[in-house]
Structures are given as C-alpha cells and as structure tokens.
Structure 1
Amino acid sequence: MPKGKEFSKEEKTLLFRIIVFVDSEKSGPKIPLNNVCDRLQVMLGLSRRTIINLRQEMSRLADQQNNTEQTEEDDDEEQPEVRPRRQSTSPRHAIQAKKTLLTPAGNSGRKKIVLTEYEEDQIRYTFHWLLASKQYPTTAKLLTRLLEDTPDFPIQSEMTLLRYMHRLGFKYKATSKISIPLDATSFIAARAKYFRHLSDLRTNDFVIYYHDETCTNSGDEQRYVWVD
C-alpha cells in the first residue's frame, strides 16, 4: 500500500474481494479467462448490468481522450513552433497517467439509484412476506426474493439494499437485543394460540413433557435481522 494512502471502508472491502479472488486462482483460473463479465462479477461483487454500463462508459472516455489527443496533434502540425524539450517518461508512469485521464473527476461511474414509490412498497411487502412465511428477514433473503419477483429490479446488490432499508426506516439489529413487550399484539396472539393448542392436546389425552431448554436448529438461527 503506498505510503500515506488512505482507503475508505468501501474501497477496502472492494480491494479485499479482489485479493481473495486472485489468491483463489493460484492453482489455475476458477472462471475461464474469456468470461470477462463473470470474472468481474465475482471479483467486484457487482451485477452484470452495472459492469456492462461501466465498460461502456470507459470506452466512451477512451474515445474522447483519443479524439482530444488527435486534435492536439493536428494543431501542432498546423502551427509548428519551437517547444522546450520534454522529459522522458517511464512506461509505468505513462500507464498511470493514462488511467488518470480516463477517470472522470468526481464521478464513480455508477448511476445513482432512485426508487419509485411502488418499488419502495415492493421492499416493504417483501419484508412482511418473509415474516408471514416465518423466515428471518435478512438482507440476502430480501434481495433474493425481490429479484425472483422482479429480475430487473433497480437494486442488484446487498450493499445497496442495506442502504435503502435504512432510508425506509428499517433497523438492522442483533436478534439477542430485540425485545417484545408482553402486551404486544403479536405476543398475545402467539400466547393464545399456544395455550389453545395445549388445551386440544389435553382433550385428546396426549401426554405432554416439558423441557427446560428450547430445541432449535443452530443452522436456522440468525444473529442479525431487519426490524420495522
């Protein structure tokens, strides 16, 4: 890492993904080298559509740069004059300079995502649908369900969905810290259903055993979920 260079948290996450991907291919490429979009998807964690848009923008910037250089060369030929001798540049510095010119100042290259009111309601509906289906409303499950219902949904990554969930008023909390008041409607309804089920079992002469621990599948547990 260059001395004095600082990276944001998002930049570090992206760099770590690239390093892990490159390290995983020490014994050979996991994805064929000619599948450029697939490799970039895994390496950068972006959707195929985003990668295609970025490559198109990069191509446009390169064309603009070439046109600018060609115009400067034409001007030099039309108006010859004595110019001071330029210093030689190493190939490495030349490549870095070209990359700098191709990068638009103050623009990450990503199109800002703005959801309509209907698309925001889709997120809310999916959240409550997961709850009704007795599933933990995690970011991954929300995104998977959204893309199953609407493959061209504007949000294609978990990071973007996470930001939008916060904007919509949802909170990402640890399951151990989520408290349910005893007078909450959901708790009262669940308690009534539980005792009604016990009463039916006793009526049918079932033998009921009580344990001091709740048996759960650790693979089904989630440490963090979204709450409304």
Structure 2
Amino acid sequence: MPKVVKSSAREMILKVKEFCEAEQKNQGVLIPLNNVRKRVAAITGVSEKTITRITKEGITAASTSKKIVTPGKSRPHPKKFDLDGFDLCAIRQKIHSFYVVHKELPTLAKLRAALREDINFQGSITTLHRILNRIGFKYKRCQSRRKLLMERHDITAWRARYLDKIRINRTVEKRPVVYLDETSIHNTYHTKSCWQSEEEPGMFVSESLGSCWIIAHAGTKDGFINGALLMFKSQSKSSDYHDDMNSANFLKWVTEKLIPNLPERSLVVMDNAPYHCTQLNKAPSMSNIKSSMQEWLRQKGIYFEDTWRKAVLFELIKQNKGPPTFAVDELLTAHGHEVLRLPPYHCDLNPVEKIWSLVK
C-alpha cells in the first residue's frame, strides 16, 4: 500500500514543480547553485530561517537516531476515559450522597478523592469537570429556597391574614401605613453589568468593596418620614449587614428616631428579621438545661414531676407558652401604633425594598 502524502507535503511538491518549470522556461539557473540555503528556500517556499532551523533539527535527529517530529506533536494530551453506564451512575450517586447523606458541598477535589476510592477513578479535575458536564451537571448559582417554601400551608395562611389586614385597614381602620426596612451600601457601589463590545470596553469597576454603611429608614405613600433616617458605618468584617443592625441598635432607632416622627395611630409593617422579633416572653427550648425548663413551668403554675425527661417537659412548654410577645410591638403599642409583620419570604410586599433598588 503506497504511503499517504499529507496536504502540507503535497503543497511542497507543487512549489518544487513550479520552481523547476520556471528554471526550464528561463533556460538557466534562477539562483546560483552555490547558495544552497537560499535556493532551497526558493524551491520550497519557506523562509531561510526555517531552512536553517530544520537543518539543525535534522543534524540532531541523525546523531540521536530519532525522527524529526512535528512541533507540538509530543505535547501531552489529556487522557480520555471511557466510562460505562455503571461508573456514570456511581458518579451521580456520589454527588447525591454528598448533598443528602454527608450534608456537604461536593467540590471537584472532594468528589475526585471519593471516586478514586469507589471506582478507582484516575482522571484529573479537568477531566472530571468535563464528565460532569456530559452527564448533565452544571456549575451555576445555587437555587433559592423561596420557591419551595412560599407555598407552605402556614405561609399561605399568613399571607392571607396579612392581605386581609391591609384590606380592612384601607376600608375601615384607615391607619397610616408605614413600611420600614434596612439595607447596606458600599462606598464603591456600582452597577454590575453594562453594554460592552470589542471596541467599547464599557465601565471599569473597583475590585475593593470599600467601607460599608448600614441604612435604616421608614416611609409612607408620601415618601420617607422626615427625621427617621439612621445611617452608620459598619464595624463588622462580615458581608452580612444584619451583624451590625442588632436588636439593641434597632430598638434604639425605633425609640429615638422612628416613634417621635411617626404619624398618629400608624400601622407599622416590618419583616421577620431576628432583631425585629426579640421576645419578652421567650420560652425555653430543647437546648436549655432541664432546671430552666422546670423553673419556667413552676412560674406558670403547671404541674410536672421531677423525674420527667426534657422531651416531656418541652411538650408541656409548647402546649402552654402561648403567642410570643415582641419588644418592638410592646414599644409601638404603648405609643398608640400597631405592628403588622410580612409573611416569610414576601419581601416583594414591602415597597421600601423596591426603593432601595432604585436608590442603589
């Protein structure tokens, strides 16, 4: 079977043929025979530097009894792993076990180490990345729990009660509705996206977030309430502004800035942030010691026996603890106002959230 001549060699043959035909037509030598390098460059159509380089490679190959290879051909290539259906199923099950059994995020490094033990997987992290893409896994932003929790029956009922209260207030009570909320902003705050092209790079942004400022405010249908603004510089290194806006700061703001400027008989709407829900009558939980549970039951005049276990005492506590009493509710009620809490995961019902978006 004759040897296959590759395309690059075919082009070289045509160039040599054209050079020879040109010499025959001119009935002589186009380039002097004593200038070998220049003559070979003209015949093959490559530069003289390339002729020199290939000549050196030929000398080296001859001295080491090796063949001249194509540049880059000896470059290491990633190994291909032909995994069967059993192995692919094992990879899926391993990812599932990380989430469900171990309650752990399956990074590529952890997953590769686990697969080495289970199915003797010898591929690299890059290879594993390609395999995960092939079987349908994509590395992307985590999904929100909101779409799973919004339609829980208790939250559906909470939303119905909230909307009913707003309807009654509009038609009967007619209290001024005041919405309050907190947010944070960095002094290098910037838009996250812009229109760009190869010629127009758009806006360049700073990688440093800079100082963080905590903002709390309240507003009605007529706008923000004058004198109710709270703004202070964050002292926490955490990325969550809730670490700065704690119960003490929140109650101080309500007492000193919000209440003095509220319209009379306001209906104050707020979400369920932990510092909005500081309980005055907090009952013991299962994390409390047994003696504190017994003391709480004793103060309530509820019968129990000293030999009863914590689980039994906790059932008694749940049956008798009653509705929670929040510090901010008591504070606002004492000044003639009423508190209405948003249903969980329903920040879209708070207009201030949309105002923060516009301001930023």
Greater Rg by CA: 2
Bigger helix share: 1
Query: Would you say same fold, with TM above 0.5?
Result: no
The TM-score, its normalising length taken from structure 1, stands at 0.36
The TM-score, its normalising length taken from structure 2, stands at 0.24
